[in-house]
Chain A
Amino acid sequence: KAGVTQTPRYLIKTRGQQVTLSCSPISGHRSVSWYQQTPGQGLQFLFEYFSETQRNKGNFPGRFSGRQFSNSRSEMNVSTLELGDSALYLCASSPEGTGAEQYFGPGTRLTVT
């Protein structure tokens, strides 16, 4: 089975722009979660989608949003980028998301200048 894939792998954006990141889960997995990783804050949970519905949300501003499609692929969007949004964005998929083992993709490295 193919693993979790994320596109693009690297991205450079300017402050004030918006960005969309994509995640394709492992085939058959219906839950997709997003995490932000920075040197200062470590790994922080953004949100989780299951069957096209946001089921859980972390403590991030409304500039961070996401969605999930019927094929379980997910996108996250960050509007009005700030320098502090520079981070590695990781998505994880799992069969159910309810305590099941989570499998991570390689991440998207976002740099905001």
Chain B
Amino acid sequence: KQEVTQIPAALSVPEGENLVLNCSFTDSAIYNLQWFRQDPGKGLTSLLLIQSSQREQTSGRLNASLDKSSGRSTLYIAASQPGDSATYLCAVIPPWGYNQGGKLIFGQGTELSVKP
């Protein structure tokens, strides 16, 4: 059974710091991995999608890497800003989901607070 873990559960950093959020999964056979951001009481905003054949994806100040063999992904945020404060979630799609519908398996998230 695929399980996704995110460490730490909460993180507080001063503005301007570069930071790394971690995501690990127990079964390396995944179809893709997606990072999301969730503001309190709101829906999820997709940040980056990494296909299983890719090693990393970049969007602005965000860079996500994927190492399937070790069951790990990291989300790197450069020059953090108070507006980055939110909960960050990673989710994987197992390979059997390819022909049976998209089923995201989520981690519990990392709550990030960036202090001015």
Residues of A near any B CB (own CB < 8 A):
4, 6, 31, 33, 35, 42-45, 48, 50, 55-56, 58, 88, 90, 92, 94, 96-107, 109
- Cross-chain contact A101 with B34 (CB below 8 angstroms): yes
Q: Is the CB of A99 within 8 A of B101?
A: no
Evaluate contact between B89 and A43: CB separation under 8 angstroms: yes
Chain B residues at the A interface, C-beta cutoff of 8 Å: 31-32, 34, 36, 41-46, 49, 51, 89, 91, 93, 97-109
CA distance A4 to B44 in the complex (A): 11
Q: Given A99-B93, A104-B36, are A56 and B43 neighbors across the interface (CB < 8 Å)?
A: no
Contact B106 A33 (CB under 8 A): no
Evaluate contact between A101 and B101: CB separation under 8 angstroms.
no
Chain A binding surface SS class: strand
Task: Establish whether residues A48 and B34, one from each chain, have CB atoms under 8 Å apart when the complex forms.
Answer: no
**Minimum CB–CB distance for A11 against chain B, Å:** 14
CA–CA, A107 and B45, complex, Å:
12
Tell me whether A98 and B102 are in contact in the complex, defined as CB-CB below 8 angstroms, given that A43-B89, A56-B97, A104-B36 are known contacts. yes
Which of A58, A90, A96 is within 8 Å of B43, CB to CB?
A90
Please determine whether B101 and A98 come into contact, CB atoms closer than 8 angstroms: yes
